[in-house]
Amino acid sequence: MSERKPIKTAFVSVYHKDKLDVIIRELHAQGVAFISTGGTQTFIESLGIPCQAVENLTGYPSIFGGRVKTLHPKVFGGILYRRDEAGDLDQVAQYEIPTIDLVIVDLYPFSQTVASGASEQDIIEKIDIGGISLIRAAAKNFNDVIIVASQAQYQPLLDVITENGASTTLKERKFFAKEAFAVSSGYDSAIFNYFDGNDGSYFRAADDNAKVLRYGENPHQQGVFYGDFDAMFEQLQGKEISYNNLLDIDAAVNLINDFDEVTFAILKHNNACGIASRPAVIDAWKAALESDPVSAFGGVLVTNAVIDKATAEEITKIFFEVIIAPDYDVDALEILTQKKNRIILVQKDAKLPTKQSRTVLNGILVQDKDTKIETEADLKVVTKKAPTAAEVEDLLFANKVVKHSKSNSIVLAKNKQLCASGVGQTSRVDALNQAVEKAQNFKMELQGAVMASDAFFPFPDCVQIANEAGITAVIHPGGSIRDNDSVEACDANGQSMVMTGFRHFKH
């Protein structure tokens, strides 16, 4: 068994004092002495426990409005000196430096202050100096000192001292040091990103919420999710969420967030296989399912409307893995929860990041998120025939869907319902042929439907194929040197075409 080192003196200076009293009382009961600052000293003494003020130790008061309280050799020396180095021990005796075995500190709430919209002056004052220095010092000297660097580590420390008394092993101290450096690195990343703004000078990211998944994209791959899932969703029931579930949930949320009308979507492998907008949620569901009832099996369902009983009765007729909605009626939940493995999520009103990142080769790609949603004002009619009002609505609907479909992608829609899509193809012609064939297989009426493409048409072939299928209006970004070829084909066919100038290519 590893040798346990006793804790005789603890330095405690924290911003968050919730649940600290239990630790202080336990340490005191085991004969540990305390050194502290300001409010924390007052807190400890309010428990009826003696505490030495750091000012009495250093001989200096807190100065510069509290900016300098602990930055002194008698504090940092007591933490950093090596207990097995003769030279260090000589200097400890020479300069009357106390031994500090345990440091409990936390940091000013910098990120929370930024998020609150506080002034720059208030934000700067939340950049911790003494706390971060104490954390680094104690973590560096984990061979002799144990560091508790956040409120999240209060309970682990309490478990250690309750089970084994006021003493620690090297393994325990190293664990707490690792946790401490996670705190300090995340804190510094937040400060840098505040100063860097949107410049993207360097990539610095940190997240304290790690959830180990059953596995990654495939069973032989390990997977971890870093993020606060509970800030975005309330999971009412269901099995543990997987890596692939998270990918589909992310795609579903980003898609549905682009729609203001009551809309229901069904996703498989991050693509919508069914989606429709209707005044009533039950009708939106039925229309979405009609697009592709085969692919809907085992899919992820998402809507921006409250699920009622009638809709739940229809939904439960098929097998699905996940359903996401802003809320559910009680009688709807009674139906949906009958199968316990179903993942039922309530989507909260939480902000999504404005940046996207992914690993590539030996680095990371970062870009602004594609938040552009085209409106009628963005549409430039380039053909002799302009789209009708109904076609404009369908073109905007289809354009939202194609934005969230894997490239190359083509979306066919009519009456704000997905007729079919072709996704992830190496050829835009293949994508269109796939969509047309799929629509025909499911008896979706394409006469008078519209076509959306995520990028321009370099040749008029897709326009011709669409015309033969009954497509009467087309939307795409434009930008090809051969745009006129497609425009002329539309004119010859009696089709209308609009260009947006915004490409939505998506890997």
Beta bridge partners of 100: none
- Which positions ≥6 away from 19 have C-beta within 8 Å? 151, 154, 155
Based on the residue annotation, tell me whether 504 is a catalytic residue of this protein.
no
Structure tokens at 230: 């509970």
CA dihedral 442, 443, 446, 448 (to 10 degrees): -140
| Pairwise CA distance, residues 341 & 339, whole Å | 6
Strands (E), 390-483: 410-413, 418-422, 450-453, 473-476
- Which positions ≥6 away from 42 have C-beta within 8 Å? none
| Pairwise CA distance, residues 394 & 90, whole Å | 82
Query: In this structure, is the dihedral angle defined by the CA atoms of residues 226, 230, 232 and 237, taken in order, positive or negative?
Result: positive
C-alpha dist (Å) from residue 204 to 46, 294, 437 = 41, 43, 46
- CB atoms under 10 Å from CB of 158, counted, come to 16
Residue 478: burial class (beta carbons within 10 Å; 0-12, 13-18, 19+): buried
Beta bridge partners of 496: 473
Task: Give yes or no for a cis peptide into 198 (omega within 30° of 0).
Answer: no
| Pairwise CA distance, residues 75 & 63, whole Å | 16
| Pairwise CA distance, residues 241 & 233, whole Å | 12
Active-site choice (17, 126, 140, 174): 140
- Which positions ≥6 away from 224 have C-beta within 8 Å? 210, 211, 212, 213
Name which of 25, 28, 40 is nearest 130 in CA terms: 40
Based on the residue annotation, tell me whether 72 is a catalytic residue of this protein.
no
3-state secondary structure of 325: strand
Strand order in the sheet with 9-13: 52-53, 33-36, 9-13, 102-105, 146-148
| Pairwise CA distance, residues 259 & 502, whole Å | 18
Active-site choice (17, 211, 239, 269): 269
| Pairwise CA distance, residues 324 & 233, whole Å | 9
Q: Which residues are catalytic?
A: 140, 269
